[in-house]
Amino acid sequence: MKDKLVSTAKNIYELPREGKMKVPGRIYSSEALLSHPGMSSAIEQVANVAELPGIVDASMAMPDIHWGYGFPIGGVAAFRSDSTKGEIGVVSPGGVGFDINCGVRLLRTNLLEEDIRGKQKEIIDELYKQVPAGLGSKGKIALSDRELDSVLSVGATWAEENGYLWKKDLEVLEENGCIDDALPEHVSEYARKRGRKQVGSLGSGNHFLEVQKVEEIFDEEAAKAFGLFEGQAVIMTHTGSRGCGHQVCQDHLDCVLSASKREGIDLPDKQLASAPLYTKEAQEYLGAMSAAANFAWTNRSLISHATRNAFSNIFGGDGESLGMDTVYDVSHNIAKMEVHLGEELCVHRKGATRAFGPDSPDIPQKYRDFGQPVIVPGDMGTASYVLSGTSGAMANTFGSTCHGAGRAMGRKAALKKYGSTDLIKDLWEKEGIYVKARSPRVASEEAPGAYKDISEVVDVCHATGIANKVARLKPLGVVKG
């Protein structure tokens, strides 16, 4: 499939429209990134997505693209909601993924790297104590049915109203931490049961809680607006909707697939099960997905609360005196109704981050001169980045950019190649990065060598104008599930 790609500009490749494709594919990448094993399968998924009804402009992939369920991870696709504009579009659970609203939140501090060095083990051990991590981990609180309904309905607002979040945090969360169109009544009892005890927990896999230093600033003015400076200590949380979101996806797949068959959609892959936006199945899935997204924003909010408490216990004072403001919170597994190209579209971002540009009314006033902060997590041994959204992203990718490094190696292969004990020891002794993992196996699966070069991924986004580099962050200590 790679041999069909045509270079249209530096780091931009087109997959020409052929067969049943309704639009071309467009991939932001580089020769080195495209050379990773498995790329042909991921590019084939880009072509498959291009066959779905009502797709607008192109089936897109960001430079961290790799194979996923239905859609490639790193995929972006937008679908028409107005039949007067052309063929009506669809919503596809495969275009969101099982970890609904997996996302990243970044907290700044007034602390410096030298305040952290020498206390890394103490800090990470305290965070590990405060934030439950690992497969099946449970949060510190169990929600009542009424509380869970509120979480699913109003998201991070519930956390703020119950003392787990500052009011000023809400304005720097994507969608202010809540999608208003959530329909909790379409979240099953089993999904509720799975989520009830997991709010405020990290989970496993590639999720982490990481203490970092701001290693380099690329855009001084944007960094200043974001509250970042060189040598500063910051904390990044990467997690999603836990069992609640996973079950919501699982529960709605069969219904959406039935709608695909009833509506006569010729699917190239049944993992691309899609329901036209006007159908009951589409609206019920979108409502339940939005509720799970609200759960994820609440989950990250409770982790922020626990993080502030942990730092307070180590350094004294409180979160306010330590300057622990939220820089931003971004989602990267979600489908939302947004206005682009003059019409309302259902934009799917699966392993892709919203990157709204300067002057967008959907981002906080204080960031509008620079564009939305985009937080791109790396692996536990290299770097993460803060970017800003651009007008280029708004014009070309429905306001989207990359979400991370992207896997270069499957988990089984990584587990076989990297011994967990040596890996954790080497990160500490050679890199000065203290890792505490509930499961050493997960540490091996998430080894730095299992991922693509995040710097190259980010450089592609910067060079093609779909994001602007602001700062590079280096890990000092990591909590892994």
Within 10 A of 458 (CB to CB), how many other CB atoms are there?
28
Among 355, 396, 358, residue whose Cα is nearest residue 375: 355
Structure tokens belonging to residue 58 = 């192109």
Cα distances (Å, whole numbers) of residue 173 to 84, 95, 105, 302, 353: 33, 22, 8, 14, 13
Name residues whose C-beta falls within 8 Å of residue 343's C-beta, 6 or more positions apart in sequence: 80, 81, 82, 85
Tell me the C-alpha distance between 26 and 7, whole Å: 10
**DSSP states of 350-380:** ES-EE---TT-TTS-GGGTTT--EEEE---T
Among 291, 253, 355, 337, residue whose Cα is nearest residue 101: 291
- Classify each residue of 406-439 as buried b or exposed e, where b means 16 or more C-beta atoms within 10 Å of its C-beta: bbbbebeebbeebebeebbebbeeebebbbbbbb
Report the length, in residues, of the chain.
481
Q: Report the SS3 class of residue 343.
A: strand
Q: Which residue has the tokens 């690329």?
A: 218
Of 66, 186, 332, 403, the active-site residue reads 403
403 is catalytic: yes
Structure tokens belonging to residue 206 = 């590639």
The separation between CA 460 and the C-alpha centre of its own chain, rounded to angstroms, equals 18
- Per the CB < 8 A criterion, the answer to whether 45 and 68 are in contact is yes
Structure tokens belonging to residue 33 = 């990134």
Cα distances (Å, whole numbers) of residue 339 to 62, 367, 456: 21, 20, 30
Region of 39 on the Ramachandran plot (φ > 0 left; ψ -120 to 50 alpha; else beta): alpha
> Kindly report the CA angle at 103 between 458 and 446, in degrees rounded to 5?
70
The separation between CA 180 and the C-alpha centre of its own chain, rounded to angstroms, equals 20
Catalytic center residues: 403
